[in-house]
Structure 1
Amino acid sequence: MIPVLFLSTVLIWGTTWLAIALQAGPVPVLVSVFYRFALAGILFLFILAVTGRLRLPKREHQVWLVAQALCLFSLNFICFYHAVHYIPSGLESLIFSLSTIFNALNARIFYGERISGKVILASLLGISGLVLLFGRDILDADASGTLTGVGLAMLGTLFFSLGNMVSRRNSREGISPVFANAWAMSYGAIVLMLLIILTGTPLIAPPDATYLGALLYLAAIGSIVGFSTYLILVARIGSARAAYATVLFPIIALGLSTVFEGYVWHWTGFVGLGLALLGNIVIFAPSRRPRRTAPIAKDAETVASS
């Protein structure tokens, strides 16, 4: 089950970058993100209602669902959507892949988890691979806006990681990721609408069928399915290991860029792909257990005396 969840997350999030690119145009960022999570929240709550699982969250959980909404379904995407105006998408994906490190550090801070050498090695391999994969984009970045873009992408990644920590807390309190996502996406849409009103951002209607298709994909598949599979992974295998999906999905995005945008591969790209895949193998490799020599010796003595 876990490999299926992990693969689904990688494939879905790897394709959402192309869908986001298809939404670029006259619709403001705040409005695009609002459309995405308003539609996702409505669809999610409708699914729960049809299946008989819709219920109001308990009062003591409301603040945590709002926190999840702020970190995973509003503020982080505002940062990411704006950052792409200053830095190449490859560099933004590279920065987002640092969530493996953010998650390991935050899990240490909030949950007291030990940062294992395997997590560190896998993160270094994955990030090194992405540096090679997107090195040309980094070199081509606009120097005047790079600092702003990097700062926004880092801030978005921090929000994403903090959202992982909140999701873990909600799971420990018995709130399923599906139930939490449905309400958090709805709350995120409310937050985004308030920001649209406060900033006076114009509500521009979707301009064409391409935008609508991308919006439906991002809302239904990218948000409802993608975030559910990811947060179920967080609940089952921990935030540090689950976040390694964020290291691999840029590779899927790069493959789509090769087909649809004419991305040209170089030897550094192939080496980077190999390093990222190696990091994936490292983090999911089973840990070696110490040999139990004493019980074996005891059993041998028992057999000898019988």
Structure 2
Amino acid sequence: MTIFLYIVTVLVWGTSWIAISFQNGSVDSLVSIFYRFGLASLLLLPFLYLTGRLQKSRRIDHVWYFLQGCCLFCFNFICFYKASAYMPSGLLSIVFSMAIFYNAINNRVFWGVKPSSSVYGAGVLGVIGLLLLFWPELQSTSASSELLLGIGLSALGTFGFSLGNMITVRHKKNNINPLTSTAYGMSYGALTLLLIITVTQTPITWDVRTEYLYSLVYLAVFASVIGFTAYLSLVNRIGANQAAYATVVFPVIALALSSVYEGYTWEIMNGLGLTLILLGNAVAMNLIGIKRMSKSLLKHAV
């Protein structure tokens, strides 16, 4: 079962970044994200309730659901959608893959889990890799400021995603299943987005483009309901650090799609940068030789 969840997460999230880029247009990003998680919560929460799969929760649990909703289904995606306007979706997914390092640090801060020494060396590889990956764009003075803004926003969104992972660990310690926390979290995230839209007086509009509708449905049903449920189930089964390995693999899918649909071109410098980032992520997860991950997957593959 763990291997299945891992494959689903990689495939769904690997293709979701290009769908996010299709959301850029006449509709404000706040509204697009609200549509996405509003639709996702309307599909998931009633389904769980009607089928009797929605766990009973205490008031304190709802406080954590709200916080998880803000981290995983609201503020982080505001950053991601804004960032997608300044950088190709494939590069955005690469920055997101740094969630491994955020998780290692946050696990130490919140749960006292000490990261392995390899994380520090991997961090150096990751930073060098990012510089090389974005080097062609950074050489263009006119594009540098927007690119740096995109990198900063995507890094901030990834940090929010990691905080949501830490809350998922809390849910596991309290025997809350991922379906329940995801359903409530998406609902609270959508309500928070609606509040922000109301306060900022952001106009609620619609985009008539076919690709906008198709990408919205894909993001709501597959990337949100299915993708997040699969990923948070992984966190619940094998831990935040091991589950984050999925973020190492799906950037390859995202970059391939970015090359086809967004005209992203490869050079020696950015190819070397991607290699160093993937290598750094592998080192951070103690994946050289793939022994640790293989053992973890095999142990939980029932």
Which of the five TM-score ranges fits, normalised by the shorter chain?
Answer: 0.7 to 0.9
1:61 aligns with 61
Q: Deviations over 1:139-184 (max 9, x none)?
A: 4472333443333222212211111101110121111111100111
CA distance in 2 between counterparts of 1:223 and 1:258 reads 24
- Structure 1 stretches of 5 or more lacking a match? 288-306
CA distance in 2, matches of 1:201, 1:275: 41
CA contact (8 A) 2:37 2:73 kept: yes
Rounded Cα–Cα distance in structure 2 between residues aligned with 1:13 and 1:127: 23
TM-score, normalised to structure 2, is 0.84
**Could you give the per-residue CA deviations for residues 221-259 of structure 1, whole angstroms, max 9, x where no partner exists?**
000111111112222222222223223322111111233
SS at match of 1:71: helix
Q: Which residue of 2 aligns with 1:188?
A: 189
Q: 2:228 matched to which residue of 1?
A: 227
What CA RMSD, in Å, does the superposition of the two structures yield over aligned residues?
2.5
Q: Tell me the equivalent position of 2:85.
A: 85
Residue 8 of structure 2 is aligned to residue 3 of structure 1:
no
CA distance, structure 2, for counterparts of residue 123 and residue 227 of structure 1: 26
Whole-angstrom CA distance in 2 between matches of 1:281 and 1:153:
21
- Distance in 1 (CA, whole Å) between partners of 2:96 and 2:227 is 16
Gaps of 5+ in 2: 293-302
Letter in structure 2 aligned against 1:174: N
Deviations 1:240-294 (A, max 9, x none): 222232233221111112333343333445545555555566534335xxxxxxx
- Does the Cα contact within 8 Å between 2:15 and 2:257 map onto a contact in 1? yes
Deviation at 1:12, TM superposition (A): 1.0
Range moving further from structure 2, 184-193 or 199-208? 199-208
- Quote the Cα distance in structure 1 between the aligned partners of 2:98 and 2:171: 23
Shift of 1:39: 0.3
Q: Which residue of 2 aligns with 1:177?
A: 178
In structure 1, the residue matched to 2:297 is none
Partner of 2:44: 44
Q: Which moved more, 1:198-207 or 1:130-139?
A: 130-139
Moved more, 17-26 or 203-212: 203-212
Return the letter of the residue paired with 1:143: S
Cα shift readout 1:183-229 (whole Å, capped 9, x = no counterpart)? 11011110000111000001102423221111110001000111111
> What does residue 286 of structure 1 align with?
291
Relative to structure 1, is the Cα distance of residues 153 and 134 closer, same or farther in structure 2, using a 3 angstrom cutoff? Answer: same
SS of 2:101's partner is: helix
- Residue 300 of structure 1 corresponds to none
Residue in 2 that maps onto 1:261: 262
Equivalence map 1:1-306=2 (5 Å) = 1-121=1-121, 132-140=132-140, 142-268=143-269, 270-272=271-273, 274-275=275-276, 278=279, 282=283, 283=285, 284=287, 285-286=290-291
Amino acid at match of 1:168: V
TM, length-normalised to structure 1: 0.83
Radius of gyration: which is bigger?
1
User: Does 274-283 or 5-14 show the bigger shift?
Assistant: 274-283
CA–CA distance in structure 2, aligned partners of residues 129 and 37 of structure 1 = 33
* 1:96–1:281 CA distance, 2 compared to 1 (3 A): closer
Quick one: percent identity of the two aligned structures? 48
Q: Which amino acid aligns with 1:230?
A: Y
Identify the range of structure 1 (270-279 vs 22-31) with the bigger mean alpha-carbon deviation. 270-279
Report the residue type matching 1:212 in the other structure: L
Looking at structure 2, the residues matched to 190 and 149 of structure 1 have their Cα atoms a distance apart, in angstroms, of 26
Q: CA deviation at 1:44?
A: 0.7
Q: 2: CA distance between counterparts of 1:56 and 1:191? A: 22
Encode CA deviations 1:34-92: one digit per residue, 9 max, x unaligned.
Answer: 00000000111132134321355321201000010000000100111112334444543
User: What residue is the counterpart of 2:295 in the other structure?
Assistant: none
Distance 1:91 1:137, change over 3 A: farther
Distance 1:12 1:130, change over 3 A: farther
Q: Using the alignment, how far apart are the partners of 1:28 and 1:81 within structure 2?
A: 10
